[in-house]
Structure 1
């Protein structure tokens, strides 16, 4: 669904009709390459050492239990290749946990259990300076301006809330957490289901028509639109190219600057 075209620009629409901005992370505020070339490889390379050094820590015990329960559920649902994790307190259990995490990552799963242990690993790396969150340079200044104009800004990502706070708290633009009014992850629902966006609207106590969701994924835009949430797709370098139909279905922008620019945006009219 196109943003209301009675306005001359996206910025006019945002200024007049939007109270809440919800941003995706990967491909929207942050290059996809940061996730695929920095965050994920870090987990794969360090998961065994992390588990071995912190095996008795409460957070690891809880993370492993969550992975164990998910593995059992996977088995019950017919995923026979899902590595199972025993209750034994020995090296074989660590091996099984490593295998489970790597298996889930190979499957590109977005499970809450996986995201939770990844988030805890990334926390250690952010705090010791091994990793610094990469954010497009247009993002901080535009989000600050929108916040100063009275808009509330939230994050909705498949990464855990803890991981979101770490990325923005230890970003290459400094601590950005003060910009955001709150965070949402998959605990509120799958990003490709319209019910998730309805739940977000209820949580922030704003009518969906007053919300703008920024994403790089067409299926997410479609889901948000079905919940009557306004949606704009980011055309960042490295993002999956959109088809002509997809470009016709939704308004798209190349940078956040267009959200506050006085220049008229190029309108991509529907071809139907």
Structure 2
């Protein structure tokens, strides 16, 4: 495939859903699994300290004394509340370890990850799913455990993905200038926020993603070359 763009970067930052993995996996597999098992999971493990802490955090953030009701409402409305994301990570862990599913990657992703690793270019992940959920995703992927391909994982603990300051925090953690980071996402709002924070950005257009002419666009990672800054 013809290379459309060449970038110089000191760090690559990638989204997961719609960028390196089909959105349908999260929507149709992971969300469906957590919807089916959330209530039973809490009934079985709600007494454990880590789960009890999530329930208390849910009550505080939702203002609802019934944590289960609040969690179910958040899940139904796809509200990316941190307590829900933490709980989903625990529920999804059970599904992964029991072999209920594996996390799929687009065919062009592994080659890009290996190429970046070969030239010493660190790759970080920024997803609305918890860090635990991200690590599970890459541990139980369809191409095996690829966690070693990544140098860092970030979730909404650094902030909302459509807020420029969130990307500033990631850059601060990485210890590099914003202009030397390259962010890949399918989401135009996220790309705009990252661009406003000074990052280089590329929109990955797959699975019916609406292309946004403000950003460079690729349909495969084969279309881009990244050299160390």
**TM > 0.5:** yes
> Which deviations, in whole Å up to 9, do the C-alpha atoms of 1:123-152 show, x marking residues without a partner?
111111112111112111211111111211
Q: How far does residue 238 in structure 1 lie from its aligned partner after superposition? A: 3.5
Q: Distance in 1 between matches of 2:166 and 2:44?
A: 37
> Which deviations, in whole Å up to 9, do the C-alpha atoms of 1:67-113 show, x marking residues without a partner?
111112xxxxxxxxxxx22xxxxxxxxxx333222210222211111
> Which deviations, in whole Å up to 9, do the C-alpha atoms of 1:152-175 show, x marking residues without a partner?
100000110000000011001100
Cα RMSD after superposing both structures: 1.4
Q: How far does residue 255 in structure 1 lie from its aligned partner after superposition? A: 1.2
Q: How far does residue 55 in structure 1 lie from its aligned partner after superposition? A: 2.2
Q: How far does residue 45 in structure 1 lie from its aligned partner after superposition? A: 0.6
Gaps of 5+ in 2: none
Q: How far does residue 225 in structure 1 lie from its aligned partner after superposition? A: 0.5
Q: Which has the larger radius of gyration?
A: 1
Q: 1:45 aligns with which of 36, 49, 54?
A: 36
Matches within 5 A, 1:23-42: 23-42=14-33
Q: 2:48 aligns with which of 57, 66, 82?
A: 57
Query: Is residue 122–residue 150 contact of structure 2 (8 Å, CA) maintained in 1?
Result: yes
Q: 1:173 aligns with which of 137, 143, 146?
A: 143
Gaps of 5+ in 1: 1-7, 73-83, 86-95, 262-272
Q: TM-score, normalised by structure 1?
A: 0.79
Match of 2:204 in 1: 234
Q: Distance in 2 between matches of 1:222 and 1:194?
A: 8
Q: Distance in 2 between matches of 1:235 and 1:34?
A: 17
Q: Distance in 2 between matches of 1:168 and 1:140?
A: 11
Q: How far does residue 64 in structure 1 lie from its aligned partner after superposition? A: 0.9
Match of 1:164 in 2: 134
* Bigger strand share: 2
Matches within 5 A, 1:1-272: 9-10=4-5, 12-13=6-7, 17-72=8-63, 84-85=64-65, 96-239=66-209, 241-242=210-211, 246-247=212-213, 249-260=214-225
Instruction: State how many pairs are aligned.
Output: 224
